[in-house]
Structure 1
Amino acid sequence: MNGKTLNGKLKIDFCCYPENLPFSRFPVNEEQKSGRIFDWPTLKRLYSFVRPYQSRFYLLVFIILLSASLAPLTPLLIRYTIDNEIAAGDYQGLTLMLMLMIGVLVLQAIVQFTNTYLSGWLGQHVIRDIRVQLYRKILHLRLKFFDNTPIGRLVTRSISDVETLADVFSEGMAAIAGDILQLILIVAVMFYTDWRLSAISLSMIPLMLLSTYIFKEKIKDSFNEVRAAVANLNSFVQEHITGMSIVQIFSSEKIEADKFRAINNEHRKANIRSIWYYSVYYPVADIISALGVGLVVWYGAREIINEEVTFGTVTAFVMFINLFFRPIRMLADRFNTLQMGIVSTDRILKLLDSTDYTVNNGTFVPTAMKGEVNFNNVWFAYNNEDYVLRDISFKVRAGETIAFVGATGAGKSSIINLLSRFYDINKGEILVDGVDVHDYELGALRRNIGVVLQDVFLFSDTIENNITLGDKRISREKMIEAAKLVGVHDFIERLPGGYSYNVMERGSTLSVGQRQLISFVRAMVQDPKIIVLDEATSSVDTETEEMIQNAIDKLMKGRTAIVIAHRLSTIQKANKIIVVDKGRIMEQGTHEELLQHEGFYANLYRMQYKEVV
């Protein structure tokens, strides 16, 4: 959530994302912390993103300084006009002064327009570059990072935190510098003009500074509360819309509506508190400013009567007071904006500086991969302590089919994740065609390994884009050929628009079996030399499974296949079946050999056979 004022009114940008915050209160977490206003290392890093646009940045600084310098000019011109042209009855001189003041006002309008446009232009270009750089970074982070990082936090980094940086340029450091310079110039001009009226005018400063400081602290706390309230609201709505089928199955609509009402009330209260602080501060600031004006008018009127000061001087000081107190009122908002920008920048930089990515130092790009796979004494742990794979060794010759079976959590999926280097091993070595996987260029390695998972993810896009993933090297003819081999071409052609049919979010308009078949085409269209099926047929019906099995029989010729399956009927033809339990290989052999061994595999086979019977 970004909070700021617009024409004296509270403006709240609801762009926060759920962070699993509790519904009943607002704990301080990473999303709520306030940073130091002048965190120079962070500001220096932020400036590095501005460097490609530094000419416009320096122009913006100049424009801000020019705007601050023009601020005292109008009161001085009015003072001169009243005391000289009007007092002398010089209508020609009055006309010239009026034209000069109109020119100054036009110049101020041009400067203000340039300031607003340049700050917005610069902010949008910088956040575009940061967002692109941030997303590229996320694309290359290893899966271990995503295992330990909530998705909502990454979304917040990419959208909400980056968007906050735009305000840093429009209302942040440069704007604060401009406000401070304006205050200094006005005070200097005021004391140069009349030190006594200046002292009277500035007597209200302590009250204004005190009220501004209190407001700044209160509104900062209220912004934190609103951030938490929005996160709670978004979290609840997202989770319960996703799980709406469960809500309706158990007739929990009224219960969930009551929960939502309570959360929404907290959201309303948090926003009203923010609005209340603004509602109090601006009238108080206006009263303090009015008191200053009143004192100037009272003292100035007496001095005019005594002929100590002129009427034009008093009029100018009334204008000076308004010009002086306006930036003070704005500084509270600007400091909060800068604080939030510093925090957001710090979070973004931490993500950009993350070293938790797969190192791609390999340079080997095979001209033609055969598909031979060797695991030699492989040990692996997700947290570098508890090994999920222990001394795994096996060999798959090019063109062979090898199958893994075992209980859930035995380590089967970890084996195939290591093959594609989604995770890196702790000990041992993995060879593909006799070359260590770390020596391969990562893209070349993964393009030769086609993976079909049990949990299929389809993007909200056309079937064609879900198959090719935007890879221009894959022709439409090649895609259709792969679809025909899998046996889904006719089904796709019957859909409205055929391959241009939009499958919606997560492929919700397709059945589980249809999504699985499309994911199979997605793997096959890359023409990989190694095929990995991670329980790819466990979520489909018998007819769809037969379609996939028929496609496998055609496509496995000349390719290496690694299959993980609960249905033993799908792996009986495998060249070798490996039984894994608690991270170790317990048995391996053909289907017939393992049945004769009367071990784990034989018991599992008999249990499934009884279920079928």
Structure 2
Amino acid sequence: MGQTGKRLFQYAMLYKKPIIGALVLLLLAVCAELAGPFIAKRMIDQNILGIEKSWYEVAADEPYAVSYKDKWYKREDHFAAGEARGAEVHLLQAGRKFYWYEGTLPAVEGVRKVADGQMTVTDKTTGENAAFPVALISAKELYQFYKPEIPSLMKLAGLYVGLLVLGAVFTYGQRLLLQTSANRIVRRMRNDVFAHTQRLPVNYFDTLAAGQVVSRITNDTEAIRELYVAVLANFFSAIVYMTAIYGALFLLDPRLALFALPLVPILLVWINLYRRFAARYNRIIRTKLSEINAMINESIQGMAIIQAFRRQKETFKEFDELNEHYFTYQNKLLSLNSITSHNLVNVVRNIIFLIVIWFFWGDWFGAAIGVGVLYAFVDLMNRMFQPIVGVVNQLSNLETARVSAERVFTLMDQPGVEVEPGMMERYKGEVKFDNVSFAYKKDEYVLKNISFTARQGDTVALVGHTGSGKSSIMNLLFRFYDSNEGSIIIDGKDVLDIPKQHLRQHMGIVLQDPFLFTGTIASNISLNNPEISRERVEQALRDVGAYDMFAQLPGGIDAEVIEKGSTLSAGQRQLISFARALAYDPAILILDEATASIDTETEAIIQEALDVLKKGRTTFVIAHRLSTIRQANQILVLDRGRIVERGNHDELMDHRGKYFAMYQLQQGSAVTAS
């Protein structure tokens, strides 16, 4: 996975202790589970099929001895070294019945048949026959020979169940630790991504829809969580299982183990082929999901416009096209998953079983491989295919997580501005633009050779037609963007030498369309800054003449504000935004079309407050309504990115240039409207 995998690993290492603990528990669970086939093999070969081992007559009743026709017999594996043994006898199975035979068995091994008290054994390879007299044993008599093995069978069965319970406990602990760690990792990653969005420059969001950013912070990080929970557990357990089972198979019988060896290269080829196709599908799917989120977000934001202009059908058609594209690639990925699903794993497993059973049935392995060994092989192979199925089923999640991680890390790799610690003393607010030129896009300059000086306490008004560059000057002053040429000086210091956070600390802004956060009126003014006291909030509202207005609302200034303040009037939202700027006591105050959406009565209230608030504070006013800037110390008239006129209101009116024409036009419009 390259660089992406390395960074995912680094996040995992932040919580390495619980993850390592989970993997240790998983290892213990695997060990507990893998002990089962060996216990079952012992129960079959030793306690059940062991009845066909040689039995010897003993003198009297003793441990493990069995009474049969007034004599006592004990199985060969229960004799102590050097212990005396009597006559040899055997219990032999033919079909579903057992027969008694006294003496040493012939060396022939093969198919057994009984007729007229004679058992005939036919060697499959040589065809050689051996016949000897036998006597049928009843079920009750047979049970006596099994009876000594029952305590051992019960102990082994208890051990088997105990290991299953222990494995379940280990698995529970492993999943709990791993899922908790995964949630912590994703919480940390989500915090990091969101924090990084706060450091990104404003121009980054000019080209990326809000819904796409939201998708990366929510959907993509959630997909990564599955990587740490399901994918990590399945792949790690598969490695442990397969390594342990291969070892167990070679201990059991190297010939049988050879049948399982091709599984590893088959699985590796499988994974590579899957990833080649799935990666492309997942990239398209994640991209389309982001576009869908972006469109939903945009549609909700502009629902009033959509309904007012009856664009519901067209909007739905656009959404349906996106959704259909997403659906198409989801189906392609689904088809790929179906082709490479666990059904194919089962086919491979069954082919291996058929080959082994065919070899066993044909006696290719000889007497070395008995039923117990065969059972253990089948059990071990079934256990091996469980993690293989887990790996195959998680391939989709692996690719989804990998593509999602790429998208998240691409966002995090965008150059941002680190938050500078500490505070900056409040500067005076003397601003100088020295031959500043700026372009949003290469060589498409929106500001050309802008030069002016604003002294402390001055009010500088920027006027001009739409697109003349007024807002661009403010963007440069706030350092949302940096100029291509020239310099901007505040109190004799280049803004490029001042950290952005420190620079903005003593600036306040009121936008034409103020943004309000979900909360209360008071919290929207203080922005939950502990340095902004309740008294300061109330004083800011009084200064803009809005305290009495909001005090009459249910809850007063603690009245709830829903998203974007949609329950408040445009004037009320603007007053809150204005009070917010004043509460922070800025050295530089920027009013960007601040009175454009305010009624005449509210505007009069703000104008009265401004006369007091401008003292000791440099104020920049961007206004289309020229009547609001008659008292400005300096008015800059912009046209196509250049300052074409400058001076106060009276000077510009006497000049009878562009400003004069604009003012006369507005006054004429006002008279006509009245």
TM-score bracket, normalised by the shorter chain, equals 0.7 to 0.9
Name the SS for the 1:510 alignment partner. Answer: coil
CA deviation profile, 1:36-59 (whole Å, cap 9, x unmatched): xx32x3333333333332333333
Alignment counterpart, residue 310 of structure 1, candidates 370, 375, 386:
370
Alignment counterpart, residue 428 of structure 1, candidates 486, 498, 501:
486
Letter in structure 2 aligned against 1:600: K
Shift of 1:266: 5.6
Which residue matches 2:216?
157
Moved more, 42-51 or 596-605: 42-51
Which residue matches 1:322?
382
Contact map agreement 1:207 1:288 (CA 8 A) in 2: no
Which residue matches 2:11?
49
Shift of 1:165: 2.5
Letter in structure 2 aligned against 1:132: N
Letter in structure 2 aligned against 1:327: P
Shift of 1:441: 4.6
Question: Does structure 1 residue 109 correspond to structure 2 residue 71?
Answer: no
Question: Does structure 1 residue 539 correspond to structure 2 residue 597?
Answer: yes
Letter in structure 2 aligned against 1:318: V
For residues 221 and 364 of structure 1, the distance between their equivalents in structure 2, rounded to whole angstroms, comes to 48
For residues 210 and 471 of structure 2, the distance between their equivalents in structure 1, rounded to whole angstroms, comes to 22
Which residue matches 1:401?
459
Letter in structure 1 aligned against 2:39: L
Alignment counterpart, residue 485 of structure 1, candidates 538, 543, 546:
543
Which protein has the bigger strand share? 2
Letter in structure 2 aligned against 1:340: T
* Cα root mean square deviation, aligned: 3.1
Name the SS for the 1:371 alignment partner. Answer: coil
Name the SS for the 1:319 alignment partner. Answer: helix
Contact map agreement 2:457 2:617 (CA 8 A) in 1: yes
Which residue matches 1:286?
346
For residues 34 and 666 of structure 2, the distance between their equivalents in structure 1, rounded to whole angstroms, comes to 88
The change in CA–CA distance for 1:302 and 1:335 in structure 2 (over 3 A counts) is: same
Moved more, 433-442 or 184-193: 433-442
Shift of 1:522: 0.8
Question: Does structure 1 residue 342 correspond to structure 2 residue 304?
Answer: no
Relative contact order higher in (CA < 8 Å, ≥ 6 apart):
1
Identity among equivalent positions (%) equals 36
TM-score by length of 1: 0.84
Which residue matches 1:417?
475
Which residue matches 2:582?
524
Which residue matches 1:30?
none
Moved more, 97-106 or 425-434: 425-434
Name the SS for the 2:15 alignment partner. Answer: helix
Question: Does structure 1 residue 95 correspond to structure 2 residue 154?
Answer: yes
Contact map agreement 2:210 2:294 (CA 8 A) in 1: no
Mark the runs of 5 or more structure 1 residues left unpaired by the alignment: 1-37
Which residue matches 1:79?
41
Name the SS for the 2:384 alignment partner. Answer: helix
Moved more, 477-486 or 334-343: 334-343
The change in CA–CA distance for 1:329 and 1:405 in structure 2 (over 3 A counts) is: same
Moved more, 248-257 or 405-414: 248-257
Residue correspondence of structure 1 range 123-522 to structure 2 within 5 A: 123-173=182-232, 175-199=234-258, 223=282, 226-227=285-286, 230-231=289-290, 233-253=292-312, 271=330, 274-275=333-334, 278=337, 281-300=341-360, 303=363, 307-357=367-417, 365-366=424-425, 368-383=426-441, 385-522=443-580
Moved more, 596-605 or 390-399: 390-399
Letter in structure 1 aligned against 2:36: T
Moved more, 443-452 or 255-264: 255-264
CA deviation profile, 1:131-151 (whole Å, cap 9, x unmatched): 222222221222222223333
Contact map agreement 1:171 1:338 (CA 8 A) in 2: no
Shift of 1:272: 5.2
Question: Does structure 1 residue 593 correspond to structure 2 residue 555?
Answer: no
Name the SS for the 2:636 alignment partner. Answer: strand
The change in CA–CA distance for 1:157 and 1:591 in structure 2 (over 3 A counts) is: same
CA deviation profile, 1:143-168 (whole Å, cap 9, x unmatched): 22222333333223322232232222
The change in CA–CA distance for 1:442 and 1:250 in structure 2 (over 3 A counts) is: closer
Which residue matches 2:142?
none
For residues 11 and 44 of structure 2, the distance between their equivalents in structure 1, rounded to whole angstroms, comes to 49
Letter in structure 2 aligned against 1:326: Q
Contact map agreement 2:516 2:565 (CA 8 A) in 1: yes
Contact map agreement 2:221 2:408 (CA 8 A) in 1: yes
Question: Does structure 1 residue 63 correspond to structure 2 residue 123?
Answer: no
Which residue matches 1:20?
none
Letter in structure 2 aligned against 1:86: I
The change in CA–CA distance for 1:85 and 1:217 in structure 2 (over 3 A counts) is: farther
Letter in structure 1 aligned against 2:528: G
Contact map agreement 1:68 1:178 (CA 8 A) in 2: yes
For residues 284 and 489 of structure 2, the distance between their equivalents in structure 1, rounded to whole angstroms, comes to 54
Moved more, 404-413 or 47-56: 47-56
For residues 92 and 187 of structure 1, the distance between their equivalents in structure 2, rounded to whole angstroms, comes to 32
CA deviation profile, 1:494-549 (whole Å, cap 9, x unmatched): 33322232322222112222211111111111111221101111122222222222
Letter in structure 2 aligned against 1:286: N
For residues 579 and 32 of structure 2, the distance between their equivalents in structure 1, rounded to whole angstroms, comes to 67
For residues 324 and 483 of structure 2, the distance between their equivalents in structure 1, rounded to whole angstroms, comes to 50
Shift of 1:561: 1.2
For residues 230 and 48 of structure 1, the distance between their equivalents in structure 2, rounded to whole angstroms, comes to 27
The change in CA–CA distance for 1:210 and 1:426 in structure 2 (over 3 A counts) is: closer
Shift of 1:333: 3.6
Mark the runs of 5 or more structure 2 residues left unpaired by the alignment: 51-145
Shift of 1:479: 0.4
Letter in structure 2 aligned against 1:117: L
CA deviation profile, 1:272-320 (whole Å, cap 9, x unmatched): 5555555563344334434444444454455499744322222212212
Letter in structure 2 aligned against 1:611: S
Shift of 1:231: 4.4
CA deviation profile, 1:53-80 (whole Å, cap 9, x unmatched): 2333333343344444444321111111
Moved more, 182-191 or 453-462: 182-191
For residues 392 and 402 of structure 1, the distance between their equivalents in structure 2, rounded to whole angstroms, comes to 14
The change in CA–CA distance for 1:521 and 1:290 in structure 2 (over 3 A counts) is: same
Contact map agreement 1:229 1:270 (CA 8 A) in 2: no
Letter in structure 2 aligned against 1:321: M
Moved more, 78-87 or 597-606: 78-87
For residues 364 and 228 of structure 1, the distance between their equivalents in structure 2, rounded to whole angstroms, comes to 41
Contact map agreement 1:67 1:108 (CA 8 A) in 2: yes
Shift of 1:595: 0.8
Shift of 1:411: 1.3
For residues 421 and 204 of structure 1, the distance between their equivalents in structure 2, rounded to whole angstroms, comes to 60
Letter in structure 2 aligned against 1:85: N
CA deviation profile, 1:404-431 (whole Å, cap 9, x unmatched): 1111111111212222222222333322
Contact map agreement 2:224 2:401 (CA 8 A) in 1: yes
Name the SS for the 1:580 alignment partner. Answer: strand
Contact map agreement 1:364 1:439 (CA 8 A) in 2: no
